[in-house]
Amino acid sequence: MRQEAEAFDLLPSSEPSLGWRESRIWCNHCGSTYLRGIFAPLPDGGINFRLRCPHCSPDTDVDFVDTSGYVQLNQIHTFRPALKRVVHHFHPYYRAGLFSGQHPSFCCGWPVKPCIVHADAMPFRVMPHHYYVMQRCPCCGESPNSSALSVAAFGHPIIAEFRAEHPRWIALPDHMTEYQGQSAIQFHLADRVSAATCTYYAHAQTLQVLAVFCA
């Protein structure tokens, strides 16, 4: 019964973490298995929500989600609502910072400049072949990051519809290119169980989506 309840996010919010558990969220790098997650209590009373892939993470030692307590999750103990809150917390924040060129660090409030960095140039391990939005705070030294693919896609109805219709989509390697004379990053999603694809181009500095092509 617990497994069925968790699949539909019906577990009571007062239930404590029971360690690493299988979610019903597919890994979007291999598309072959569900992510595993944990709500780990922190010394300050906060929650560190983490998601890992049992296939991909051991090879890369990378969490796909690691909130480190930055997102208020004390009343959430199921995976999909927690992931939704994380996305709505980080992605608008990064988008606004990329558009304005600067925003306050959510760690300490110090002004920081977010930047888009390829995995090869990241100061710590991330999934390879992708671009990331990151910032390094000169005050507290924290370096939170999020995938550029997800930040660009946030709030876009066509991309959201593709993801919803094809939950086993996987992210193929990102490419720096041009679109209609502008520097752009090409993101490519492919459904693992069909021939469906979604390719979109985002501005290389702001991640504003310039075009989307689904097939």
* Angle 29-35-40 from CA coordinates, rounded to 5°: 130
Flag the least confident range among 19-33, 99-113, 126-140, 149-163: 99-113
pLDDT at 18: 60
**What burial letters (b/e) apply to 163-197, b meaning 16+ CB within 10 Å?**
beebeebbbbebeeeebeeeebbbbbbbbbeeeeb
pLDDT at 65: 94
Q: CA 82 to CA 86: how far, in whole Å?
A: 6
Q: CA 32 to CA 80: how far, in whole Å?
A: 18
pLDDT at 11: 47
What is the overall mean pLDDT for the chain?
88
pLDDT of 14 > 70? The answer is no
pTM: 0.87
The first and second tokens of residue 37, run together, are: 């997650």
pLDDT 10s digits, 122-133: 888 899 999 999
pLDDT of 161 > 90? The answer is yes
The first and second tokens of residue 211, run together, are: 């075009």
pLDDT at 61: 81
pLDDT of 8 > 60? The answer is no
pLDDT at 16: 44
Banded pLDDT at 142 (limits 50, 70, 90)? low
pLDDT at 2: 47
pLDDT of 9 > 70? The answer is no
Banded pLDDT at 141 (limits 50, 70, 90)? low
pLDDT 10s digits, 62-102: 899 999 888 888 788 899 999 999 999 889 889 989 998 88
Residues 37/50, Cβ–Cβ less than 8 Å? yes
Q: For the residues 24-32, what does the mean pLDDT come to?
A: 96
pLDDT of 51 > 50? The answer is yes
Q: CA 72 to CA 33: how far, in whole Å?
A: 28
